[in-house]
Chain A
Amino acid sequence: MIPSKKRGNGWFNVFVLPALIIFSIVVLVPFVIGICYSFVSWDGLVMHKPQFVGMTNYAKLFHDARFGQSAIHTIQFTVVAVLAINILGLLLALMVTSSLKINAVARTMFFMPNLIGGLILGYIWRFILSDAFKAIGERTGMTSIFFNWLLDPHAALVSLVVVITWQMAGYVMIIYITGIQSVPDEVMEAAVIDGATGWKRFFRIELPLIMPSVTICTFYSLSNCFKIYDINLSLTGGGPGVSTEMFAMNIYNEIFSYNNYGYGQAKAIMFFLLVAAVSLTQVVLTKRKEVQL
């Protein structure tokens, strides 16, 4: 028994340590170092020593108007985008779960944008929403819709919602399809016999049964919208001005553009706490609403 256990321990290390060591160097160690950096003031230059400033960086966060603005914009964007993604995704899923032959093709089409990276999607839409929209407006005279969306602060924020919805609706659709298909036919038939029609059947019976999918999709879209960076960078670049600068971009700029390494890192730690809090609450809240058959 003892030799086999000893051998087992050796094998344990062979199998587990490589993964654990690489993971620690790339994730755990920077996380701890990051916490330390959030308590110093430093401009990132090697010849300057970081100064310990305690909680000052965190206190400063609450008086930073630009950070506050970016927090408000991120929350506005996230709420609208999560609703848009999930409503569109669910509608698409309901549409393509009938027995039509075209559905396989339709799913392929709706899922397509999801495979293209946010950066490239953002660039494509940047052309459409700025120069193309302006050209169409000038040609057709419909300048109230077709103007350069990216030069207007509100329209630019809406643009971000449009692009991320276009990217993620197909993804949540796939998850909703799995949910819808797992609802047993007998349940739906029984509902029809009991006289539940159309909307009632959907809201009272189908929706509660696909709540697990709703949890997954909301969780996924929420954390993705909250952490948006690539689309933000390529579509609006945070502009006009800083009116669409989201959390992630604000942190990046604070550190690498303004060289406030310590303060920027404090923002980054705050960002982590927010992401963790939002994700965990959301899971707890939606789990309660799930119905077991």
Chain B
Amino acid sequence: MTTRRKVGRFVASLLILALGLCFLFPLYIMVANSLKNRAQLYADPVALPTTALWGNYTEAMEKMNFLRSFANSLLITIISVALIVFFSSMCAWMITRTGDRKSKGIYFLFVATMLIPFQTLMMPLVQMMKWSRQFLGIPVLNTYHGIVFLYIGFGMSMAVFLFSGFVKSIPISLEEAATLDGCSVWGVFWRVVFPMLTPTTMTVIILDIIWIWNDYLLPSLVLNNKALRTIPLSTSSFFGVFTIQWNQAMAGLTLAIIPVVIFYFSAQKYIIKGVTAGAVK
């Protein structure tokens, strides 16, 4: 009985593993074909490459200006996420603890606007970016600060919503004790409250990294300058109007995915937790 059960479990495990591998088959196709030449690629797209042509990768790196795009993506993502956490946690704590009509109104405003799709805002935003330069003398298009500012604005709703939910669940007594000990409001928040918010901070960080790193439409409207392109924008350089060189494109896409894979494996526990917490609330 036990041996039979063991065999059964082993077979079930194998089946699940096989299914998992099938699920990732498209990624195998991508990597395998990134190392082939044109003839090999069209002869059999499923086969492993006979010899690995690493040259595809150097060409792809050059074409998409990989290091520069990677640096741009990293810079924009890190600064945006840090500032989203900074502003939204402060705001969420204050409006939740104050709890008067004004605060509730502000909270409602943040939450209700989560329903607005980006397409509804994109054209007016493009106009506003032009006006900002024309009338205020502040350039927004093709600037790092411009796109970071937009990400803070778009990230605020979700982050305030998540932080608010968590603040409600932590006891107010610690904050009162700190106030009695002479701590300023600023000090109470950063020394006492913010450390307690860590689980939600992690959730917000994870969700926003995934969103901003992969975002395409917003940067495509703000960053026209080639030197400022993020990774998703740079991958489109393989898909112009001419015939697509698929082996080179696959090398480029593999390069684009590598940072995501590294991030996934180094922070997997937090990612799964963050995604679950973000969805369930």
Interface of A with B (CB < 8 Å)?
7-8, 11-12, 14-16, 18-20, 22-23, 25-31, 33-34, 37, 95-96, 98, 100-103, 105-120, 123-125, 127-128, 131-132, 135-136, 139, 166, 171, 174-175, 178, 216, 220, 227, 229-230, 233-234, 247-248, 251-252, 255, 261, 264-265, 268-269, 271-272, 275-276, 279-280
A127 contacts B280, C-beta separation under 8 Å = no
CB-CB under 8 A from B122, the residues of chain A are: 252, 255, 268
Total count of chain B residues near the partner, CB < 8 A? 85
Do A251 and B217 contact each other (CB < 8 Å), given the known contacts A26-B154, A109-B20, A123-B249?
Answer: no
Do A117 and B16 contact each other (CB < 8 Å), given the known contacts A18-B87, A27-B116, A255-B123?
Answer: no
CB-CB under 8 A from B128, the residues of chain A are: 25, 29-30, 33
Q: Which of A95, A261, A275 contacts B123 (CB 8 A)?
A: A261
A120 contacts B253, C-beta separation under 8 Å = yes
List the 10 shortest-distance A-B pairs measured between CB atoms, nearest first. Answer: A26-B153, A117-B214, A19-B91, A109-B20, A15-B94, A132-B45, A30-B124, A33-B124, A102-B13, A11-B185
Complex CA distance for A216 and B276, rounded to whole angstroms: 11
CB-CB under 8 A from A114, the residues of chain B are: 275
Min CB distance A156 to B, Å, is 16
B115 contacts A109, C-beta separation under 8 Å = no
A123 contacts B253, C-beta separation under 8 Å = yes
Q: Which of A22, A98, A124, A132 contacts B253 (CB 8 A)?
A: A124
CB-CB under 8 A from A174, the residues of chain B are: 272, 275-276, 279
A-B contact count (CB 8 A): 243
Min CB distance B163 to A, Å, is 10
B268 contacts A108, C-beta separation under 8 Å = yes
Complex CA distance for A37 and B120, rounded to whole angstroms: 11
Binds A, one of B22-30, B49-57, B165-173, B195-203: B22-30
Instruction: Please give me the residue from chain A that is nearest to B127 by CB atom.
Output: A33
